[in-house]
Amino acid sequence: MAGIEPLIFLHIPKTAGTTVHHILHNEYRGLKFFTTGHYKQIEKFEKLNDSEKKKIRLLKGHLAFGVHLIYPEPITYFTFFRDPIKRSISGFNYLYQEKNHHFHEEILRKKYTLKDILKGGKLQVFDNCHVRYLANAIDLKFGEVDEKIYAIALKNFDSHFQAFGICERFDESLIYLKQKLSWSFPFYVNANVSEKKKYVDTFDEETYRLLNHYNKYDLMLYEYASKKFDRIVKSKGDAFVKEVKRFQKLNRLQTPVRKLARNIWKLLLKSPNQN
């Protein structure tokens, strides 16, 4: 365990992060983690001394780029990209379904549409979110992401992310990460999936125009990352394709057992303590 290289999982909101977190917990079991639900929580890590920081081999969560600057030794980043339009739509549905989100009550009370959120500039997470995280510009005002910020994100991605994945090519991404980061087979069950019967995914023309406008630079970054990933996969040849298929078969076989175990665990968490 001590020889495992330290790792940062930069989790961009609504990019399969909950599933990846579960995979990381299985893969790095026994190691010390630092997990954030909000990027400003990294301040707790900053206050640790170097000896305490080195004990933490995995930093994960909604982290802005730059965490490597406060880690006392070289550390590897990885992240996942998702189609920016789908990511924004998923984020909108999440606001309506997640009771613990700080915006949940307001969006229900005022019955905001996705168009309302985009036109009102109410949440920065709907404005080029990938670029904001990779450029360490999360707090930038809504609508202010520009070519300069995009260039910073692109440079950071190329310079510091030795590994990454694409949500729309999830299984291929996991096998690539397995090879790059020396993982075992990263078996999983999809987590944090929105309820389909309540999922809104059809919008008017103006909403789609706004989605494209406020994801302009994310769309550019996503296209760049997707093409880069495609080149990586092609370079690996048939052996990689066979490993992906083998993984998919094994994962399907394990899914029922893993779902059962997760449901039992959820029931135990909900059960009152018995004295």
Q: Is residue 275 part of a domain?
A: no
Q: Is residue 2 part of a domain?
A: no
How many angstroms separate the Cα of 153 from the Cα of each of 77, 147, 150, 174? Answer: 13, 10, 5, 23
Going by C-alpha positions, the residue among 83, 66, 84 that lies closest to residue 75 is 66
Q: Is residue 263 part of a domain?
A: yes
- Tell me, what's the pLDDT at 102? 87
Range of the domain at 35: 7-267
Q: Return contacts of 156-162, CB within 8 angstroms, 24+ apart.
A: 156/65, 157/221, 157/224, 157/225, 160/65, 160/68, 160/77, 161/77, 161/78, 161/79, 162/76, 162/77, 162/78
240 Cβ neighbours under 8 A, 6+ residues apart:
172, 175, 176, 233
Our count of domains for the chain comes to: 1
Q: Is residue 274 part of a domain?
A: no
- Tell me, what's the pLDDT at 197? 59
Give the pLDDT confidence of 181-220 residue by residue, as tens digits.
Answer: 999 999 999 876 655 657 888 899 999 999 999 999 999 9
Residue 81 CA neighbour count, 13 Å, CB half: 29
Q: Is residue 131 part of a domain?
A: yes
- Residue 1 — very low, low, confident or very high, per pLDDT cuts 50/70/90? very low
Phi–psi pair at 67, nearest 5 degrees: -60, -30
Q: Which of 73-87, 96-110, 135-149, 259-273 has the lowest mean pLDDT?
A: 259-273
Q: Is 50 exceeded by the pLDDT of residue 75?
A: yes
Q: Is residue 273 part of a domain?
A: no
The CATH number assigned to the domain holding 188 equals 3.40.50.300
Q: Is residue 130 part of a domain?
A: yes
Q: Is residue 221 part of a domain?
A: yes
